[in-house]
Structure 1
Amino acid sequence: MHLRPFVLMACCALTGAPLVPAHAQEQLEPSAAEPSTPPADAPVSEPSSTEASADAPAGQAPSALVPRETPPGNPVSAPTSAPGGTVEPESGEEPVIPSTVVTATRRPRPTSSQPRAMSVVTREDLAKRPARTTPEALLESEGVFLQKTNHGGGAPILRGLYGQHVLLLVDGVRLNNGTVRSGPNQYLNTVDPFLVEQLEVVRGPGSVLYGSDALGGVINVRTFWPRFASETTPIGAVRAQAGSADQSLQGHLRAGVSLQDTAVAGALTLRDFNDLRGGERVGVQRYTGYQEGDAALKVRQRLRPGLQLYLQYQGVRQSDAPRLDRSAPGDFRRFSDQERDFAHARLEHTGSGFLRRGAVELSMHRQSEQVDRFRVARDRMDRDSVNVWTVGLRAEAETPALSALPGAPVPIFGAEVFHDKATSNAGRSPLSEPALDFSPVPEDARYPGAPTQVSAGVFGLLASDAERPFSYHAGLRAQVHRVSLPVDARLTEAFPDASDPLPVLPATTQNSVGLAGELGVRQRVADGVSVLLNLGSGFRAPNIDDYLRLGADGPGYLVPGRDLHPEQSYTAELGTRVDRGPVGAQLFYAFTVVDGLVGNVPTLLDGQQFTPDGVPYRTRQNLDRADIHSLEASVSVKVLPSLTLATHATYTHTKSRRQDLTVEGTPFIREPLSRTPPLNGLVRATWEPGEVFFVEGLSRWALSQDAYSAADLLDIRTCAETPECAQTPGFVVFHARAGARLGKRLSAALTLQNLFDATYRTHGSGVDEPGRSAVISLEASL
């Protein structure tokens, strides 16, 4: 076990630099004149100063290492629910709703009354179980399987779908753009984990509220917002975290000030990861380390009673993140630069009139990546860069409950428009020259010209009072999608010696319409026991990447295809949720049919199936149909006042039907979807004898997976050049954790990973998981 990171961290701590937890917030004392709720996608409210523990210093909430118990029989203790569902504060305090989530309905609701299958990672979970990255914060969530192509990646798989089919949100704003590719991607890892206050996962279609891409589910990353205070209160936070498996060091600094009507906070994070050591049979995995820097600025301003303005900027800079599955000493690839800039403004109104809540938000996202391939034998570096700008405008409103309808549902409706513009460049430079000098190679560019994409949609949702024995929700969305494709001569330029000249694809515009609906009912059959039935549809419109991608993609060489139409999913979900004192449980079964699922299939180019390097040609095609069965179960039982046992398991079965484009007249090919997760789950025991410390042991497990698609058999991540590759081995690994509050200001958490140094990787991943190692996190308060 490497000790260098822990020695460095200890030295930093002993210098006397104040350590403040990233989750510790200022005193919560807004003016009593108005509700002071954070935006719908802001984190849950902190307890007010009157509720803070007696030994906590002024302005500090009790440590999240030991979450506060909710009084029995009073799941929402501080606020009251006003007509229409708007939470009103009491005594001038911000609302306090334990475990509140908003993603499923865009209205704050406690987890126990959510109408959909959900997984939630709270601030308390993040404090107890410090995650190296934002994707890894989902590792222990039910219904979520994490695929990792490299140490700098992490793609969540929900109900057998991933990549383009899982919608990622940051504070309710789309992270998916027009170039999100079909395979696993690294975009969720461009969110600073030290900014995260809560992760909300809705499993199943979410297109009614969020539009295209939400077939497998929606993941909303809610980051911190500064809060108002009755008097000038400084905001300060420092966090340090180190891991021995990759000799990593991470540091986070946060500073700001809270006033009665203004709150401002800025944050800076630096992260350094070295090569990752796997289990005993793997050792150090070369080409896995990378560096990252993150910055954020948050401003919250009360313009007048009932009207607030939220402004934020988030920036991420990653460098030198290699692709382990495509790296060898003489030929390796890396994401030399991965950048994301996010600017977001939200103006929100709350009141008691006809418009109970209304919001208008403007967002700007810039995402760029630069991939370098070092080809030593050819004395050449190939560079591929893509830059995408996304501008979005969204408006939504909530009006009083419709008392004339059964259940008095609350209407939520809105409209949005997003515009993407992508540019792509490719170049080559000799490696032997003193300075790199890239000459442009337009035929190798990922996309030609400057393609654009525009989507515009309207939606509406009715949700009845969740506190009634019977409740329901129903919603609809209509969306138009337009992709403008420029002239594409790359095939002609890349293959000038083809026996038959390859075509120049003309400029064109691809238009499509997406429709989605959902209907769900929830019946309370006993105190704390509910049965839920949801019917829903989702859609995904083909994007810029679908139509124009050229070059290496997964296990093949992708050739552009323009004969595509939108994917449409239909899901039936039946489940039960139990929340009775010491017992909490969920059980959901879902069946999903996806018509026209876009996938990569073999094709011919100039009569050939393979490139000169032996890589198969592939193109995008709407598969005839895909069927997905999902079963998700979780149980948590407090067997003693200080001991909680929890377990969950997820099973996914998939089957798709496609045609072989290389041979005319062949029958349909039936095979599993690529990267279908095996049966997997977790068992955990947590001992909390008081409010000072906790101890936790857990085991993660997965069975072997032999349900391979043709693409899986060609993918080095699944079959790593293994003769007669038949299956991904199963695994059982054990971890241990402990955390403590060390006085009023300092807290610490320690995780011992992979206690028996097992060698394993999750199905479809390109990197092995850490071997026996330790992670330590230190936090404190001013």
Structure 2
Amino acid sequence: MNRRPLFYSAVFNSCSAVFIVALVSLMLCDISQVLWGQNSSTGTIRGRVFDASTGDALPGAEVFIASLQRGDVTDEDGEFLITALPPGAYRLQVRLIGFAPQDSAMVTVEPARELYFEARLVPRVFEAHEIQVTASRHETLVENVPLHVTTLSRRKIRELNVSQAPELLREEPGVLVQKTNQGGGSPVIRGLKANKVLLLIDGIRMNNATYRGGNVQYLNTISSSVIDRVEVVRGPVSALYGSDAFGGTINILTRSPGTHNGEGVHWAGQASGRISSADAARLGSFSFQATARRWGVLADFSWRSYGDLRRGRSGGDELMQRLRNDTRTGRTLPEVQKPNGFSAWAAYASFLYKPSVQSRLSLIWQMDRQPEVPRYDVFEVGKYEVWNYAPQQRDLVYLRYEHTGSTRFYDAFTATLSLHRQYERRIKRRVNSSRETSDEFSTLTPGVQIQLNKIWKEKHFFTYGAELWLDKVAAASSATDLQTGAVTARAPVFTDGARYRSFGLFAQGEFVVLPRWRLTLGSRFSSFDLRAPFPEQQNRFGTVVLSPSALTGSLSSLYALSDNFKLVGSIAQGFRAPNLNDAVKLGPGKGDSFYEVPNPNLEPETVLSVEGGFKFVHERARLTAVVFRSRLSNLLLREPATYQGLPYLVDGGDTLAVFHTANLGRGVIAGFEFGGEYNPGDGIVLFGNLSFARGENLITNEPLPSIPPLAGVVGLRWRTPRVRSEINSRFAAAQERLAPEDKLDLRIPEGGTPGWFTVNFRTEVLLTENSVLRLAVMNIFDRNYREFLSGFNAPGRNYVLGGELRL
């Protein structure tokens, strides 16, 4: 089948939208110069940040005035500049990963004057204070957020030395990463997965109207070489982000070029590579950046190649026995699990321009290409000769305008115009069949986001704004007889020309009730419009129309018993509006085990979550413990249905039962999450986390599906000025408490998934000021195991060699 119409249509629309976005943004820049120029009644703080031990300038340090929510990041010379400050006394907070934070004494800003400030940071091996933006939609310290939030810094991402973006989450508390194949990677948070977990990239939605309820692979379309930080928020945050922020939210923040305060243009480059044995992976990336006083540009190109994956040879007897003796299906269980290999390449460019000291304009472009990715699990059970995502593609371009300055309505203003394209084509052919099917769909999502932040009475903080997303779907399906070459059209997975509009208004206030007590109250109104016109040959469905809306809220509390120990708690609503995958999908589902038909009579899924716990942060220790209980309603589940008056349908020689999705379920998920680190001194850090969840279907009194077992990690990390090393053990208990849906999932061994553990070692050596060597031995004891929900056994002993050269 010819895919060019879908592809070129998307490219044309993308280029047109980029042109319009650029034009509008440049106009905004010109207007900002007039409306928000520097005022002679305001002052400026200029300064530098140094390493107290060496005297070297420190780039990348955040210098922040919390009372104004204003700040800057030091350039490569360690310099920063904060302008347009109202006269008054302020305290500067200086933060940089790997150094102890510093809060200055009060400094006084005078009108039309420039104040010079220097900070000298002390290096340390333990990072007690981390900054996040996702849970509050503005920068604040993690310990000051009344939700369970964790972050992965750029340094931590490098030390993890993984090959794929989803693998960055494997050691995070309360997160399970499901992999159906080598190219997959679907995070599960608090027992909720796929389209019940919101994925963001730089605050822009990845989830679109075609995201399915089964495990998804889309996080793996982000190259790890461009990731600057990862933030994970557990629990519903629909009051800020709307639909799909149900079980949790993951925000991938990408690298930015920055600027510098000196003269001329500064150039830099970086090359990195990684190879590993168990998955025969080969990765490489090259990036360069140029920075000047008012602009900066960063470009990155990466490629990834993976071979077939070798499982472990030690242990796993119970697992292999359950797989071999599975009464549901036969299995082929080779040591080298194939086909699993695939290749990919990605490109990234980021341009930053500062038209004035108070405003900045960012233009970012991302591309990822995966030509052919096999789905391994269906080969293990002998159902298919071909099942490939061929290809899997993602493109994103967005333009973001930011302005800071004290006005009546805001102190910080952000506007983002984006265009996101996600495309996949599924090629399938069953064993001993000459019929090959092709299902392709492209989702083009233009979006607009406006956000304002305002400080009131120097202690209360408000965030409010609006978002609009419009998913446009182009789809086509066909079947090819490989013996005759005849091609026949099939009903596409989603109706060609379907549209899905999502609009939201949100507001959140953070109120200091008492000096040690802060309440956060948030609310959001969301509306949706789904329109899916079926063609004449399927006119029994006509045009499916859904127009749900939702009003959600959240209330959270943080009470500081001391400067180090804080009690946190929240009650929050979450929801997920029915999308195209729920309401209008027409075709085989769940590995072609049944046939799905549309159902236009759907309502949003909802959740009410209550959680509470404490956060302890000290210069030598950090500890978070949370318990939660989530009540789910209107869950979308499948039930038997009819198609053309029959409860079954013959598709390609297979007789399939007919199902559709309906609001059938109510359930409860409860559990706990615990994580901490302790630095006894001498460069040593002890760390660990533990998570548990239990789900119950309140209708059938049976377990809810996809609930992970008790799992965690424990380890020791030690650092010297030139060497950073870590040894840890990941582990999970057995999960034999299965829902009926789990028992039908052939990726889960019959009877459940046995418990497992691995021991892992990784180290990083600073060879020179500009070169780093990374070594790792993962799964040292070559354990044979399978993670719950995953479609293949995990890699055996894996030798990893990587390096980085800064130019």
Instruction: Give yes or no for TM over 0.5.
Output: yes
CA contact (8 A) 2:57 2:78 kept: no
Residues in 1 aligned to 2:663 and 2:212: alpha-carbon distance in whole angstroms: 15
Please point out which of 310, 315, 324 is paired with 2:367: 315
- Which residue, 431, 436, 444 being the options, matches 1:381? 436
Q: Residues of 2 paired with 1:438 and 1:41: CA distance?
A: 64
What secondary structure sits across from 1:669 in the alignment?
coil
Does 1:284 find its partner at 2:314? Answer: no
Match of 1:702 among 724, 732, 736: 732
1:421 aligned residue: 472
Question: Using the alignment, how far apart are the partners of 2:115 and 2:240 within structure 1?
Answer: 27
Amino acid at match of 2:476: N
Aligned counterpart for 2:489 among listed residues 441, 451, 456: 441
Shift of 1:331: 2.3
**CA displacement at 1:219 relative to structure 2:** 0.4
CA distance in 1, matches of 2:649, 2:775: 50
**Farther-moved stretch of structure 1 (115-124 vs 611-620):** 611-620
Encode CA deviations 1:413-447: one digit per residue, 9 max, x unaligned: 101111001111111223357xxx6724232x101
CA distance in 1, matches of 2:286, 2:519: 44
Q: Per-residue displacement from partner, 1:324-363 (whole Å, max 9, x unpaired)?
A: 1122486230111000010000011011333210011100
Q: Deviations over 1:605-641 (max 9, x none)?
A: 5554686636543321112312110210112111233
**Are 1:514 and 1:540, in contact at CA under 8 Å, matched by a contact in 2?**
no
1:596 — aligned with what? 634
- Output the CA distance in 1 between the equivalents of 2:223 and 2:586: 31
Instruction: Please say which of residues 511-520 and 369-378 is displaced more in the overlay.
Output: 369-378
Q: Which amino acid in the other structure matches residue 587 of structure 1?
A: A
For 2:52, the equivalent position in structure 1 comes to none
* Residue 377 (structure 1) shift: 2.3
SS at match of 2:545: strand
- Counterpart of 2:744 (choices 714, 734, 737) is 714
How many residue pairs align between the two structures? 697
State the match for 1:18 in structure 2: none
Does residue 543 in structure 1 map to residue 590 in structure 2?
no
Residue of structure 1 in register with 2:258 after alignment: 227
Q: Which residue among 292, 295, 298 is the counterpart of 1:259?
A: 292
Q: In the alignment, is residue 154 of structure 1 matched against residue 185 of structure 2?
A: yes
2:277 to 227, 244, 252: 244
Secondary structure class of the residue paired with 1:712: helix
Aligned to 2:77: 49
Residue aligning to 1:626: 667
Post-superposition offset of 1:483: 0.2
2:221 counterpart letter in structure 1 = T
Cα distance change, pair 131–109 in 1 and its aligned pair in 2 (3 A): same
- CA distance 1:648–1:727, shift in 2 (3 Å): same
Instruction: Give the corresponding residue for 2:778.
Output: 753
Deviates more, 1:637-646 or 1:552-561: 552-561
* CA distance in 1 between partners of 2:784 and 2:657 (Å): 31
Cα distance in 1 for residues equivalent to 2:688 and 2:108:
36
For the residues of structure 1 that align with 2:770 and 2:513, how far apart are their CA atoms? 39
Shift in Å at residue 305 of structure 1? 2.0
Matched AA of 1:419: L
Map residues 467-616 of structure 1 onto 2, 5 A cutoff. Answer: 468-487=515-534, 504-554=540-590, 556-557=593-594, 558-605=596-643, 606-608=645-647, 613=654, 615-616=656-657
Question: For residues 90-127 of structure 1, what are the alpha-carbon distances to aligned partners after superposition, in whole Å with 9 as ceiling and x for unaligned?
Answer: 75999999621100101111222222101211111111
Change (3 A) 1:594 1:82: farther
CA distance, structure 2, for counterparts of residue 428 and residue 482 of structure 1:
32
Q: Call closer, same or farther: CA 1:770–1:385 in 2, change over 3 Å.
A: same
In structure 1, which of residues 347, 354, 368 is the aligned counterpart of residue 401 of structure 2?
Answer: 347
Residue aligned with 2:184, SS = coil
* 1:679 partner amino acid: L
Is the 2:235–2:609 contact (alpha carbons within 8 Å) kept by the matching residues of 1? yes
Cα distance in 2 between the residues matched to 1:89 and 1:510 = 58
CA change 1:130–1:615 in 2 (3 A) is farther
1:147 maps to a residue whose letter is: Q
- Offset of residue 552 of structure 1: 2.6
CA contact (8 A) 1:160 1:654 kept: yes
Select the residue among 399, 421, 444 that pairs with 2:454: 399
Residue of structure 1 in register with 2:92 after alignment: none
2:182 and 2:541 map into 1 onto residues whose CA distance is 38
Identity of aligned residues (%): 27
CA deviation map 1:231-284 (0-9, x unaligned): 311131111111111211111111121000010111111111111111127521
2:678 matched to 1:653? no
User: How many angstroms apart in 2 are the aligned matches of 1:438 and 1:362?
Assistant: 44
| C-alpha separation in 2, matches of 1:323 and 1:316 | 19
User: Does residue 700 of structure 2 align to residue 669 of structure 1?
Assistant: yes
Does residue 1:306 correspond to 2:358, yes or no? yes
Give the aligned residue type for 1:655. Answer: E
Matched with 2:157 is 126
- Which position in structure 1 is the counterpart of 2:767? 742
Residue identity matched to 2:397: A
Do the aligned partners of residues 468 and 610 (structure 1) sit closer, same or farther apart at CA in structure 2, a change above 3 Å counting? farther
Structure 1's 686 and 415: CA in aligned 2 closer, same or farther, altered over 3 A? same
Contact 1:289–1:320 (CA under 8 A) maintained in structure 2: no
Kindly provide the amino acid, as one letter, of the partner of residue 313 in structure 1: W
Whether the 8 Å contact between 1:29 and 1:92 is mirrored in structure 2 is no
Task: Tell me what 1:369 maps to.
Answer: 424
Using the alignment, how far apart are the partners of 2:726 and 2:115 within structure 1?
36
1:772 paired residue among 776, 797, 800: 797
- In structure 1, what is the equivalent of residue 445 of structure 2? 390
Distance, in Å, in 2 between the alignment partners of 1:164 and 1:41 is 35
What is the match of residue 409 of structure 1? 460
**Shift in Å, 1:598:** 1.2
Alignment of 1:207-222 (within 5 A): 207-222=238-253
Q: Secondary structure at the match of 2:583?
A: helix
- TM-fit CA distance, 1:46: 6.2
User: Which of residues 298, 301, 304 in structure 2 aligns to 1:268?
Assistant: 301
1:649 partner SS = strand
Is the 2:636–2:665 contact (alpha carbons within 8 Å) kept by the matching residues of 1?
A: no
Alpha-carbon distance in structure 2 between the residues aligned to 1:397 and 1:222: 20
| Per-residue deviation, 1:738 | 1.2
Q: Secondary structure at the match of 1:176?
A: coil
Tell me, yes or no, if the aligned pair for 1:312 and 1:344 is still in contact at 8 Å: yes
CA–CA distance in 2 between the matches of 1:89 and 1:342? 41
Question: For 1:534-561, what per-residue CA distance to the aligned partner results, in whole angstroms no more than 9, with x for missing partners?
Answer: 1111111101111111223225322222
Q: Please report how far the alpha carbon of residue 696 of structure 1 lies from its aligned counterpart in structure 2 after TM superposition.
A: 1.2
Cα 1:470/1:77, change in 2 over 3 Å: same
Confirm or deny: 8 A CA contact 1:79 1:89 kept in the other structure: no
Of residues 348, 355, 371, the one that matches 1:296 is: 348
Provide Cα deviations, 1:732-761, integer angstroms capped at 9, x if missing partner: 111111111002111111111111111112
Alpha-carbon shift at residue 322 of structure 1 (Å): 0.6
Deviations 1:655-701 (A, max 9, x none): 124xxxxxxxxxx433222211011111111122x211022111111
Give the Å deviation of 1:489. 6.2
Distance 1:68 1:520, change over 3 A: closer
Work out the CA distance in 1 between the residues paired with 2:414 and 2:57: 26
Q: Whole-Å Cα distance in 1 between the matches of residues 188 and 628 of structure 2?
A: 15
Q: Is 2:752 aligned against 1:727?
A: yes
For residues 585 and 609 of structure 2, what CA distance do their matches in structure 1 show? 30
Q: Equivalent residue for 1:21?
A: none
With normalisation by structure 1, the TM-score equals 0.84
Provide the C-alpha distance between the structure 2 equivalents of 1:601 and 1:608, rounded to a whole number of angstroms: 11
Q: 1:565-613 deviations in whole A, cap 9, x for unaligned?
A: 0111111110101112212111101111111011233445555468663
1:334 aligns with 2:388: yes
TM-score, L = length of structure 2: 0.81
